[in-house]
């Protein structure tokens, strides 16, 4: 009887011992969790500080989002700040190109006058004949040779605007046969022409 009781007590003690977590193991686990928590908190805090800094610096935030493209790129859009080679600008080839650009601007004014007289006029044939993209771009690029690189970045943008405005004007001009142009569509065309004229004027401002 005593022997069986002793065996039972021994087995019970062993079973209980198997489920008891040693105190030093518990302390190590707690320390690790504490370290992980501290590291997580630290990273969150760092992220918050970086985010706040980016919000306070829009250019840096934009660069972080979109990369370095456009960050701090020098584009001279003010003719008074442009660097122009007067000798190149005064050359025959460039002056002929400037004259052609003025002619392009004059053509825009003609289309504006035509629309003012007749809101249903189709400017498409005139637009396609007088504003050939290849010739127009070549003309504008000849004028561009008189500018330094930073100025050209600005005038290149104006050239892109001009080409885009012509494309939009041609799209706005399209009208289904037999359907009159509405007042709203007429306003859109007039707005496109005004925008195109302004782009040519802004470009020519660099040559005066």
9-37: pLDDT as tens digits: 343 444 444 434 444 443 344 444 444 44
Residues 101/200, Cβ–Cβ less than 8 Å: yes
DSSP 9-48: HHHHHHHHHHTPPPHHHHHHHHHHHHHHHHHHHHHHHHHH
Q: Of 23-37, 56-70, 85-99, 126-140, give the lowest mean pLDDT range.
A: 56-70
Predicted model pTM: 0.64
Beta bridge partners of 110: none
What is d(CA 134, CA 160) in angstroms, rounded to the nearest whole number?
13
């Amino acid at each position: 009887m005593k022997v069986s009781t002793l065996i039972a007590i021994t087995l019970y003690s062993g079973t209980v011992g198997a489920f008891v977590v040693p105190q030093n193991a518990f302390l190590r686990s707690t320390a690790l969790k504490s370290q992980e928590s501290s590291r997580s908190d630290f990273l969150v805090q760092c992220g918050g500080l970086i985010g706040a800094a980016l919000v306070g610096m829009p250019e840096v935030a934009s660069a972080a989002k979109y990369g370095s493209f456009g960050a701090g790129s020098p584009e001279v859009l003010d003719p008074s700040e442009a660097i122009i080679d007067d000798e190149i600008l005064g050359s025959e080839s460039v002056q002929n190109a400037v004259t052609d650009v003025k002619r392009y601007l004059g053509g825009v004014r003609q289309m504006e006058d035509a629309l003012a007289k007749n809101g249903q006029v189709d400017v498409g044939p005139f637009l396609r004949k007088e504003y050939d993209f290849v010739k127009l771009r070549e003309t504008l690029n000849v004028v561009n040779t008189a500018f330094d690189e930073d100025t050209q970045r600005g005038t290149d943008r104006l050239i892109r605007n001009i080409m885009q405005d012509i494309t939009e004007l041609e799209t706005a001009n399209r009208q289904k046969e037999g359907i009159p142009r509405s007042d709203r569509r007429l306003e859109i065309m007039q707005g496109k022409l005004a925008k195109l004229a302004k782009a040519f004027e802004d470009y020519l401002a660099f040559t005066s």
